[in-house]
Amino acid sequence: MANQRLRALLRWTKWADWAIAAVGFTIIIFVLTFFFDSSSTDGAASSVNLPASDLVDLTLLHNAEDRGALCLDGSLPGYHFQKGFGSGSNNWLLHIEGGGWCNTIESCSTRKTTALGSSNFMERQVSFSGILSSDPSQNPDFFSWNKVKIRYCDGASFAGRPESEFKNGTNLFFRGQLIWEALMDELLSVGMSNAKQAFLTGCSAGGLAAVIHCDDFRERLPQHATVKCLADASFFLDDTTMDNIKRSMVPHFQCLFPREFIKNIRTPVFIVNPAYDFWQIRNILVPDVSDPQGYWQTCRLNIHSCNPNQLEILKGFRNSLLNALSEFQQKNEAGMFVNSCYIHCQTWMAETWHSPSSPRINSKTIAESVGDWYFNRGAVKLIDCPYPCNPTCYNMDFTRH
């Protein structure tokens, strides 16, 4: 299973380079300049032959059409819901899949022919693993909770509004905020309104959505409920390597990166992030276009192949991440797990979330660390030593494909 999931992750990463995204939306214009697709990870992993009990059906959002809450192509949004049991019956965990943003007619039109823009292309069943697993050995703290995987089909981290739509007959719907509102109302109507504990999580662009909507999520739930949020591999840097992209941004673009907007989040947030995020390294730090001679080619494929000079540059990238997180780290209620692995999202897959071979810091897996933080069993602000000091790391190797 581990090899199947890794193959799925590699397939997904290969076509994740097709777009760099940035979308404006009303109230605040939130521009992001990256693309990372996790739908193919989840989708490809779920296509593995699994027992029926491990598969969760797709539910299309009720009343979505009446509310104008539509995917990019105008189809109904969807989610997968697995009912909680036992002590978790009144607790809710939501996980938003990733998939980047689209910002042009061409990129959004392409996107609407995939599961990232249309429920017509979404798998009708997906497997729940990692943070969504119902297996206590894989997910010790949240296995019995009500769990929802939110499918991502609006192209803007559930932040778009009709005012952002093109007015030239392209039939593209930017309704992410409306989807979010309709989805929350539907989940509240099926039991989430009685939540005693709730956890909004997400991977990559889905993690950004979790942070964007974190305080709103808190406000919709009972005042007595414990509500927290988690962003996995979502701390994208405003770095000098992005100068060519910044020129196309709106003024005051710094306010649009996680480092800035997370300052204003009132609800407790946990950050899971690799210090050597392969997507940022491969697409932002040293993209193909910046390396015409192929100096970085083998290093980008496998961190074990990096020479000392390259590792020093990657260490500088790590230092930039830690510097960007320094203010967040000072928050009393903040949680962190920053390991030195060459990977991207780590919460959706058992192999990296919680297993005998999962990455660890101070002998704690990501699942154990997140659980300790969520349930106030102790402060959790874990920062790994620089590569290659951690032998438990799951490092992606792209030379195999």
Q: Which two tokens stand for residue 127?
A: 């497997």
Long-range residue pairs from 173-176, CB within 8 A, at least 24 positions apart, any chain? 173/70, 173/71, 173/72, 173/73, 173/74, 174/23, 174/25, 174/72, 175/68, 175/69, 175/70, 175/71, 176/25
Q: Which helix (H) or strand (E) holds 14?
A: helix 2-14
| 384 tagged catalytic | no
Cα angle: 335, vertex 38, 375; to 5 degrees: 25
Could you please report the per-residue DSSP string of 244-286?
A: HHHTTSPTTGGGGSHHHHGGG--S-EEEEEETT-HHHIIIIIS
Task: Report d(CA 85, CA 93) in Å as an integer.
Answer: 13
Task: Report d(CA 204, CA 233) in Å as an integer.
Answer: 5
| 304 tagged catalytic | no
- Catalytic one among 157, 204, 234, 340? 204
Question: Smallest Cα–Cα separation from 141: which of 375, 316, 342?
Answer: 375
Alpha helices in 124-196 (DSSP H): 176-189
Q: At what angle do helices 2-14 and 39-46 cross, to 10 degrees?
A: 140
Handedness of CA 142, 146, 152, 158 (dihedral sign): negative
| 277 tagged catalytic | yes
Task: Report d(CA 76, CA 178) in Å as an integer.
Answer: 12
- Catalytic one among 232, 238, 277, 384? 277
Radius of gyration of the CA atoms of the chain, in A? 20
- Catalytic one among 95, 213, 344, 354? 344
Q: Which two tokens stand for residue 377?
A: 């069993």
Residues taking part in catalysis: 204, 277, 344
